[in-house]
Chains A and B, each alone.
Chain A
Amino acid sequence: MSRVHLTDISLRFRHIWFRNLITYHRIWKVNFLVPLLEPAFYILAFGLGFSGLVGRVSYAGMQLEYTRFMAPALVATACMWNSFFETTYTSFVRMYYQKTFDGILATPVSVEEIIIAEIVWAASKAMAAVAVMLAVLIPIGYANFPGALLCIPLAFMGGLAFASIGMFFTGIVPTIDMFNLPIFLFITPMFLFSGTFFPVSGIPDWAGICSLAFPLYHMVELTRFLCIGAIESQPAFNLAYLLLFTMIFGYLALGAMKRRLIK
């Protein structure tokens, strides 16, 4: 009854993307402030408070200053937070409280298109946040120019992955406060154990293998590669993993959301 129809997906989804852009535009100053200031806060805090304790990090055969090691991971985590929050809390509000999707379902737009639009929108938002961050990181020498600019399209790809799993959770959580659960059980461990704050090569093998399952790990590896040219994994493998993750959870999200929206 509510099976996913991939044939019901057309470019019409772009109109919902555009709708989201308009609402985003209204509060764009707030939206830009966070990625603008976030890297500055982290680098200041970790640079001032942490470097005395940690010293240098050895990564991919290099000895890196701690803040230099960590800064690219900030780009990756910003991508994650932006896209994941968009398809969880924000989409849930649109779906459940504002009934925006119910309204759209009276027009020639399919459920599939609504969900694709939400996911693509979230990825676009992540991409914008990453672009703003790079505008801070590149001038202060924490990301190579112009190589690091590739983080922008990468953020779109990674954004799709995080947005897809977020949308999947939106399709299954009973109430909005239940997002605490996937955040606590999935996002937080991922945030900590994806080579963000310490290299995965430094932790026990079993933990390192677990990290491989996290899309954020692959994002962090790729952003670090693009920002400072150092990587401990295979970029092609990282990209392939992100793509596969997006396809699996994108499809699951379509199913879960369709079951939820179609009455």
Chain B
Amino acid sequence: MAGIKTGKEMSIIEARHVVKRFGQFTAVDDVSFAVERGEFFALLGPNGAGKTSTIRMIYGFSPLTAGRMEIFGLDIGSEWRKIRSRLGVCQQENTLDPDLTVAQNLFIYSRYFEMDKAVARRRAEELLEFFALTGKRGAKVMELSGGLAKRLQLARALMAEPELLILDEPTTGLDPQSRHQVWDRLFELKKRGLSMVLTTHYMDEAENLCDRLLIMDHGRIIAEGRPQDLIIAHAAESVIEIDGPSAELRNYVKQHAVEHDDLGERLIIYAEPRGELESQVREKFCVESCRFRAGNLEDVFLRLTGRGLRE
């Protein structure tokens, strides 16, 4: 069969024409992608795009309606136990065990993986240290703030030394300090060669952390690539935002067929960095409220998925 890979070059995740239906509703609609070993991969998309549904099929929580999902080259349908013993999951909702203390949460989790008890104790200590939770080891989970709870969930996902870490919105609801702390940890893990799959609604997070990403909407993949390539392809390296654009500016933009989005109150122009267009706009139209900035993933995301609210 064509496309079969062996040994080192084998993808860590290979999703082929994956479909997930809930009754009549199709949450994931014919999605195919691959994640390579050591890669930091992101799944982006508006609320309800199908990110969590996709992720749940990766770790065998939800059965596939159609298609095939291979993790570590093993089929998730039949080899789920082997696969799950090699990956760590930080779920979107808080699934920490509120009946247990912080340290017990880690230890009991290791039992589900049948880790050696002495190794597990050592590992728990390391992780408490790594996530700055040592002082809270005896605390009840209910007493933890959102940031601490998320860090504990991350620590728990790493207990069994996974080869693949799955992170479903690991920083949602965290303050900037906690968010940066989590990022630092993820960077550190990436340096150690851990493969990761992340979902997030923070575009800066995906842009900073990820090697490659895909954007989903309505259960389908609408873009895929490296953050910088996507920015160049779907937005621009340089962006000009003009508040309260004048009629002349609108005319100019139309006449010169400039790549732009007209939001009524605001005009966004996608330009080349330090190009002709940029200096023209700067000289002619930027009397007061103009912002020149680099294009980013948020531009890509909004351009591809639209600015309308999701239900």
Contact indicator A22/B22 (Cβ below 8 Å)? no
Mark out the residues of chain A between 180 and 194 whose CB falls within 8 Å of any chain B CB in the assembled complex.
Answer: none
Closest residue of B by beta carbon distance from A103: B95
Instruction: Report if B63 contacts A (CB, 8 A).
Output: yes
Instruction: Report if B84 contacts A (CB, 8 A).
Output: yes
Instruction: Report if B94 contacts A (CB, 8 A).
Output: yes
The verdict on A263 contacting B56 (CB below 8 Å), with A106-B61, A106-B91 known, is yes
Spot the interface stretch: B105-113, B223-231, B260-268, B277-285.
B105-113
Q: Which of A1, A22, A104 contacts B100 (CB 8 A)?
A: A22
Closest residue of A by beta carbon distance from B96: A103
Q: Which of A22, A26, A99 contacts B94 (CB 8 A)?
A: A99
Mark out the residues of chain A between 1 and 60 whose CB falls within 8 Å of any chain B CB in the assembled complex.
Answer: 1-2, 8, 12, 15-16, 18-19, 22-23, 26
Instruction: Report if B244 contacts A (CB, 8 A).
Output: no
Closest residue of A by beta carbon distance from B107: A22
Number of residues in B with C-beta < 8 Å to the partner? Answer: 31
Contact indicator A102/B59 (Cβ below 8 Å)? no
Instruction: Report if B98 contacts A (CB, 8 A).
Output: yes
The 0/1 profile, CB within 8 Å of B marked 1, for residues 64-101 of chain A is: 00000000000000000000000000000000001110
Bound-complex Cα distance A128 to B62 (A): 37
Contact indicator A15/B112 (Cβ below 8 Å)? yes
The 0/1 profile, CB within 8 Å of B marked 1, for residues 102-117 of chain A is: 1111111110000000
Instruction: Report if A62 contacts B (CB, 8 A).
Output: no
| Count of CB-CB pairs between chains A and B under 8 Å | 74
Main secondary structure of the interface of B (DSSP, over half): loop
Closest residue of B by beta carbon distance from A261: B61
Contact indicator B108/A262 (Cβ below 8 Å)? no
Q: Which of A2, A98, A105 contacts B97 (CB 8 A)?
A: A98
The verdict on A98 contacting B99 (CB below 8 Å), with A108-B84, A110-B81, A262-B62 known, is yes
B62: chain A residues at CB < 8 Å are: 262-263
Contact indicator B112/A109 (Cβ below 8 Å)? yes
Bound-complex Cα distance A169 to B109 (A): 27
Mark out the residues of chain A between 97 and 145 whose CB falls within 8 Å of any chain B CB in the assembled complex.
Answer: 98-100, 102-110
B96: chain A residues at CB < 8 Å are: 103
Closest residue of B by beta carbon distance from A97: B98
Closest residue of A by beta carbon distance from B97: A100
Closest residue of A by beta carbon distance from B88: A106
B113: chain A residues at CB < 8 Å are: 107-108
Contact indicator A18/B56 (Cβ below 8 Å)? no
Shortest Cβ gap from B290 to chain A (Å): 48
B112: chain A residues at CB < 8 Å are: 12, 15-16, 104, 107-109
Instruction: Report if B288 contacts A (CB, 8 A).
Output: no
Contact indicator B91/A103 (Cβ below 8 Å)? yes
Shortest Cβ gap from B72 to chain A (Å): 13
B59: chain A residues at CB < 8 Å are: 106
Instruction: Report if B259 contacts A (CB, 8 A).
Output: no
Contact indicator A19/B108 (Cβ below 8 Å)? yes
Closest residue of A by beta carbon distance from B93: A99
Contact indicator A108/B93 (Cβ below 8 Å)? no
Bound-complex Cα distance A155 to B114 (A): 30
Bound-complex Cα distance A8 to B108 (A): 21
A23: chain B residues at CB < 8 Å are: 99-100
A: residues with CB less than 8 A from B are 1-2, 8, 12, 15-16, 18-19, 22-23, 26, 98-100, 102-110, 262-263
Other A-B pairs beyond A99-B94, A99-B95, A108-B81, 7, CB < 8 Å: A12-B112, A98-B98, A106-B61, A106-B89, A107-B112, A108-B114, A262-B61
A-B residue pairs, 10 tightest by C-beta: A103-B95, A106-B89, A107-B112, A23-B99, A15-B111, A108-B85, A108-B84, A99-B95, A108-B81, A102-B95
> Would you mind naming 19 contact pairs between A and B with Cβ atoms under 8 Å apart?
A12-B114, A15-B111, A18-B108, A19-B100, A22-B99, A98-B97, A98-B99, A100-B95, A100-B99, A103-B91, A103-B95, A103-B96, A103-B97, A107-B85, A107-B113, A107-B160, A108-B80, A262-B61, A263-B61
